[in-house]
Amino acid sequence: MDSDEFRMWSRRVADWGVDYRESLRERPVRARTKPGDIARQIADSAPEAGEPMEVIFADFERIVPDGLTHWQHPRFFAYFPANAAPASVVADYLVTAIAAQCMLWQTSPAATEMETRVVDWLRQALGLPVGFAGVIQDSASTATLAAVLVMRERALKWAGNREGLSAHPAVRVYASEQVHTSVDRAIWISGIGADNLVRIPTKGPLHGMDPEALDAAIRADLANGLLPAGVVACTGGTSIGACDPIDRVAEVAHAYGLYLHVDAAWAGSAMICPEFRTLWEGIDGADSIVFNPHKWLGAQFDCSVQFLKHPEEQVRTLAIHPEYLKTHGHDGIINYSEWSVPLGRRFRALKLWFLMRHHGLEGLRTMIRNHVAWSVELAGRLAAEPDFEIVTEPVLSLFSFRHRGGEDADRHNLALVQAINDDGRIYLTQTRVAGAIAIRFQAGQFDMTRDDMEVAFATITEVARSLK
Ligand code: PLP
């Protein structure tokens, strides 16, 4: 492809992106595709001879958009959002054009130094004290894995990477049932083993970990010769938004010298609003915190920020220095690949820089406050309907509900989610609360308006009544 063609296609693709965004309200949110529909339209093998871009692009338009679930649809209320504000998309176009691999300072000084700056902007925006340094990871799962590896290494006096775990007492990590499954995976991958992830019961309206039960579990493990290493707490768990009492959990963890990692992958974005910070009161006591600006804040996927009180411990756990990665003459400079599991890294800081500068923190706060207010309002309206019940009250913009109807409540509510998603105006997902199916609702899409919430209310109530 020569420069003229590259220029023409870059412009055409940018135009297509804008048209696509403008078309979203006319599209069903969840893909209507059946398994295999897309694969059938794609050749079995790569062509031997090159094809014109025009042909490839026509196939793209024919096959792909209708085969997508539209995450940027303003009425996406499923899972958690994966927002991509236009300003961050534009930044990512630049990142794609530059195509730098930013593993070391010297492989992309601008990326490294901008990362240090924008992550500190976020630290200030979230109200975290000076002393937390941060790094952008590809996902919260990777950040949590890194944190679990640090807990393990600290507890094993930095011998685990070298010796493995077999010669040591079992390493123990504590978390409630409400943490995301990325914690389970981190425990598997780190070799700690699922049996050594100790589940601490929860209590209270926020379904938070019981600190007394945590204390008792650690004491019991010590008495049995096991090796308590760390606690993974959550602020805004995936299922129903559970929040552990971080201040009390930190007190217990630190009394035993344990490492505390807090997963605020979704709820962390809301902490730019001071009034929501009560949900993670005591966060200063964490050793590591992860939150995903790619969820609620508007930074295009992927963008996960991990704050660390002692980054040198993570570097000690993860850094490795073969000659081919040494940066002679640049000792003491940050090489962010030493803070993370993958070596290669995208230039992720640019989209945060564009996003925060274009919207300003106040613009982003307004968006989050609207989502919370609209979600609370919707929960109230559903609660006032005789055939709906609120199962878990809103935590920020997430709540769960159930429709009363049918003999088998689980089957009825699963059928309702399916029917709502087939309707296409909105997209929801389900969860289990105390063993029973509940329907999750979260408001968080960057472009949604209050009118979209009206459509949500109308769709939920109309479809539920049509099922009877
Ligand atoms: N933690 C929480 C609370 C989540 O909700 C999720 C995903 O939704 C994750 C972690 C995993 O995030 P990631 O996809 O960035 O690994």
What ipTM score was computed for the predicted complex, to two decimals?
A: 0.98
**d(CA 43, ligand 1 centre) in Å:** 34
From first to last of the 468 residues of the chain, give the pLDDT tens digit: 999 999 999 999 999 999 999 999 999 999 999 999 999 999 999 999 999 999 999 999 999 999 999 999 999 999 999 999 999 999 999 999 999 999 999 999 999 999 999 999 999 999 999 999 999 999 999 999 999 999 999 999 999 999 999 999 999 999 999 999 999 999 999 999 999 999 999 999 999 999 999 999 999 999 999 999 999 999 999 999 999 999 999 999 999 999 999 999 999 999 999 999 999 999 999 999 999 999 999 999 999 999 999 999 999 999 998 888 888 877 788 999 999 999 999 999 999 999 999 999 999 999 999 999 999 999 999 999 999 999 999 999 999 999 998 789 999 999 999 999 999 999 999 999 999 999 999 999 999 999 999 999 999 999 999 986
Beta carbon of 80 within 6 Å of any ligand 1 atom: yes
- Ligand 1 atom index nearest CA of 139: 15
**d(CA 324, ligand 1 centre) in Å:** 33
The pLDDT value recorded for residue 76 is 98
The pLDDT value recorded for residue 331 is 77
**d(CA 179, ligand 1 centre) in Å:** 9
- Ligand 1, atom 5, lies closest to the CA of 238
**d(CA 80, ligand 1 centre) in Å:** 9
**d(CA 266, ligand 1 centre) in Å:** 7
- Those residues with Cβ within 8 angstroms of residue 140's Cβ, 6 or more apart along the chain or in another chain: 180, 182, 263, 265, 290, 291, 292, 304
Beta carbon of 378 within 6 Å of any ligand 1 atom: no
Beta carbon of 180 within 6 Å of any ligand 1 atom: yes
The pLDDT value recorded for residue 437 is 96
Beta carbon of 265 within 6 Å of any ligand 1 atom: yes
Determine the 3-state secondary structure of 269 from DSSP.
helix
Beta carbon of 139 within 6 Å of any ligand 1 atom: yes
- Ligand 1 atom index nearest CA of 237: 3
The pick from 266, 341, 396 for probing ligand 1's pocket by mutation, whose C-beta has the most ligand atoms within 8 angstroms, reads 266
The pick from 145, 176, 179, 180 for probing ligand 1's pocket by mutation, whose C-beta has the most ligand atoms within 8 angstroms, reads 180
Beta carbon of 301 within 6 Å of any ligand 1 atom: no
**d(CA 299, ligand 1 centre) in Å:** 15
**d(CA 143, ligand 1 centre) in Å:** 10
Determine the 3-state secondary structure of 282 from DSSP.
coil
Amino acid at 197: L
**d(CA 178, ligand 1 centre) in Å:** 12
The pLDDT value recorded for residue 332 is 81
Structural domains in the chain, CATH included, are 3-76 (1.20.1340.10), 101-346 (3.40.640.10), 360-467 (3.90.1150.170)
Beta carbon of 182 within 6 Å of any ligand 1 atom: yes
